[in-house]
Structure 1
Amino acid sequence: MAEEFQERTEQATPKRREDARKKGKVAKSYEFNSAIVLSVSLIILYFGGKHVWVKISNFAVFILSNLHSIEISKANLQGYATYMISFLGLNFLPFLLLLSVVGVGVNLAQTGFVFTFEPLKFDFERLNPASGIKKILFSRRSFFELVKGFFKVGVVGFVAFLTLKGMIDDVVVLIDSEIKGIADFIVRSGFSLLLKTAVIYLVLAIFDFSFQRWEYEKELRMTRQEVKEELKELEGDPLVKARIRRKQREIVRMRMMHNVARADVVITNPTHIAVALKYEPKKMKAPKVVAKGINLIAERIKEIARKNNVPIVEDKPLAQMLFKIVDVDEEIPPQLYKAVAKVLAYVFRLKNKSSKVSV
């Protein structure tokens, strides 16, 4: 319960960001997409509009010049429709395809590739009227969208009003102009109005994009407790990990103690270090440390060695070196061959003497 009142002061972790993307939650500005598409449309219109205008003019002239000979019937209606569609397709389809590519590209640039059915899943929370009213009336996003809507209508309308107001004197002169002059004036005026609108819309889109990114980061923020819980999920509970390590040490210790009974010799410090060695010439290149320990573990090693008649040799320097540089189940390094060989030779001599005495 206390977690609900914690402030979300921590930046979102990579896992939280990835989970949000899987649910389709990404920072995205629809205004930015529209502004870029509109700007590209104006660029295309500026550089390719004349070509399209000539094509349309010639087509209109052809149609108007041959109206007297055109007969509309069931037999030729399909032919006229096919010709009209092919004309429009050849002249406008490339521009529409280019705008589609631009729209998809801008969208991918904002969000990257995201494919998920998560937003389509049924959620009872979406049917909650109280939750819906709260999102509409009392959220930063709703307030921003409201201000943005007023800004678009107000500023764009004001710019359009100023632009059209400045054209009033030119409109009066057009009364005595030819059709071509009127058409040119309409095209220039329309393009000028679109250009000014696009500039304002682009500024609005940049601001909207910045807000969407800020709002997205704000929503993804986490409390310190959430960060801790996520770390536990990723790395495991420290208490559980400690119990596992303790269990692993117990298993290793039990195996070590079992190996002591089969060791050839135990080298001691003599009081607080014990290292058990095993050497099988046919299987090993060098003697191997099968168990080692300090203090209580060392005493336990010596106790097992006595019960199993494993010789215990006191060699303080050698015991310290073996304990420091050789791990359990590892062979001794070459620099210790000579010292260990002396100990083993002594042990083997003792074994031989005891075997002769017993005989």
Structure 2
Amino acid sequence: MASSEGADKTEKPTSHKISEARKEGNVCQSKDVATVVMLLGVFVMIRIMIPTIYQYIISMFRYVLDCIAHSEHDPLNGTLFYRFMIYALVCSLPILFVAVILAILSHGVQTRFNYSKKATKVKFSKLNPISGIKKLFSLSKVVDVIKNILKVSLLIILLIFVIKDKLLPIARTLNMHPFNSTIMLLGFIWDLIIRVVIAFSVIAFLDYLYQRWKYQKDLMMTKQEVKDEMKMLEGDPKIKNKMKQMHREMTNRRMMQEVPRADVIIRNPTHVAVALKYDPDKHGAPYVVAKGLDLMALKIVDVGDKNDVPWIENKPLARALYAACEIGQEIPVDYYSAVAELLVFIYRQKNGGELPA
């Protein structure tokens, strides 16, 4: 039965299914990506701070030697420990800070900074030993084992190649000045780190692709589940209200785009605004291109002002047209005379123009 149910899941997860999964804390992310980003940041910070760390080490040695040279000072007293702790904090805090920030960012970018309270709750079902045993033999655990084996193998191979290539130069460091030999050894270590980061980055990229595929696969739905979800959403009052709101917003945006084409705006003066257009090629009478109350009325007037659309204050006519006409509808015959007078006045104001025939 389980296999047949899994085989029936042929439909991609809907946006609602993905949204619900995110609320549960089920998001797509690769821990390997976060690890690689964090390690890369730490290694870069260490490389940047090597001169500072070196100076602190030299300073510590000088202080210890100075204490030994002056018998009245004990090199193992509290002052030495205090200074060592200060140096250690100065060197480590920037590195730790970068590591924490990169860990948060890499997690946040992958999950789009999703936070779920449900994911933080203790689930006693996870303590079930039977389910725990099942997880040990799951595909995810098998993939994790393969990744870990691959990482260890790559690390060993890279270490062998680097040592093989650098064996003679490493041997030469025994006859070099300690400072020069240290710099050369650090160069070898950095070369190994770069190769390891590149190799692990490839693994992290492949793991991210796998996690995305697995995430989509786990959320796949049956055709019946899609149908049931559609029915549920259509009957959900919140969804209905949201869809109505979206429809209103789209209608208002289209309406506001038509305001600059209007011939006149009739207002009352702040509560009602009706924008009219007379185009004899499209309509036999003036028609409404936009209308609104209160804030929307002010927006219509504002857009009209910015586009040099004249407005006239006529409270009774504005209220009557708002109540009688919908967007795109011609004005009723009862208002032909009143609107015609306004349009004639407007066209005469525009350089002595005449009303279109």
Gaps of 5+ in 1: 242-325, 327-332, 338-359
Larger Rg: 1
State how far apart, in whole Å, the 2-side matches of 1:55 and 1:123 are: 48
Conservation of the 8 A alpha-carbon contact between 1:27 and 1:213: yes
Residues 153-172 of structure 1 correspond to what in structure 2 (within 5 A)?
A: 153-172=152-171
Q: CA deviation at 1:149?
A: 0.9
* 3-state SS of 2:8 partner: coil
Matched, 1:17 2:45: no
1:198-243 alpha-carbon deviations (Å, 9 max, x no partner): 1111111111111111111111111111111111111129xxx9xx
* 3-state SS of 1:167 partner: helix
* 3-state SS of 1:84 partner: helix
1:57-84 alpha-carbon deviations (Å, 9 max, x no partner): 23333323433443268xx62x444333
1:196 corresponds to which letter in structure 2?
A: R
Residue equivalent to 2:214: 215
State how far apart, in whole Å, the 2-side matches of 1:211 and 1:6 are: 20
* 3-state SS of 1:166 partner: helix
Residues 20-35 of structure 1 correspond to what in structure 2 (within 5 A)?
A: 20-35=21-36
Residue equivalent to 1:89: 89
State how far apart, in whole Å, the 2-side matches of 1:217 and 1:5 are: 13
State how far apart, in whole Å, the 2-side matches of 1:5 and 1:147 are: 25
Q: Alpha carbons of 1:35 and 1:5: their partners in 2 closer, same or farther (altered >3 Å)?
A: closer
Q: Alpha carbons of 1:92 and 1:5: their partners in 2 closer, same or farther (altered >3 Å)?
A: closer
State how far apart, in whole Å, the 2-side matches of 1:190 and 1:97 are: 23
Matched, 1:143 2:142: yes
Q: Alpha carbons of 1:127 and 1:86: their partners in 2 closer, same or farther (altered >3 Å)?
A: closer
State how far apart, in whole Å, the 2-side matches of 1:105 and 1:196 are: 24
Aligned residues: 241
Residues 1-359 of structure 1 correspond to what in structure 2 (within 5 A)?
A: 4=5, 7-69=8-70, 70-71=73-74, 77=78, 79-123=79-123, 125-137=125-137, 139-236=138-235, 334-335=332-333
Gaps of 5+ in 2: 241-323, 325-330, 336-357
Conservation of the 8 A alpha-carbon contact between 2:64 and 2:75: no
Q: CA deviation at 1:197?
A: 0.8
State the TM-score, normalizing by the size of structure 1.
0.59
1:4-50 alpha-carbon deviations (Å, 9 max, x no partner): 36521111112211211111111111111111111122322333322
2:92 corresponds to which letter in structure 1?
A: F
1:94 corresponds to which letter in structure 2?
A: P
State how far apart, in whole Å, the 2-side matches of 1:111 and 1:88 are: 34
1:296-350 alpha-carbon deviations (Å, 9 max, x no partner): xxxxxxxxxxxxxxxxxxxxxxxxxxxxxx9xxxxxx85499xxxxxxxxxxxxx
State the TM-score, normalizing by the size of structure 2.
0.60
State how far apart, in whole Å, the 2-side matches of 1:64 and 1:207 are: 52
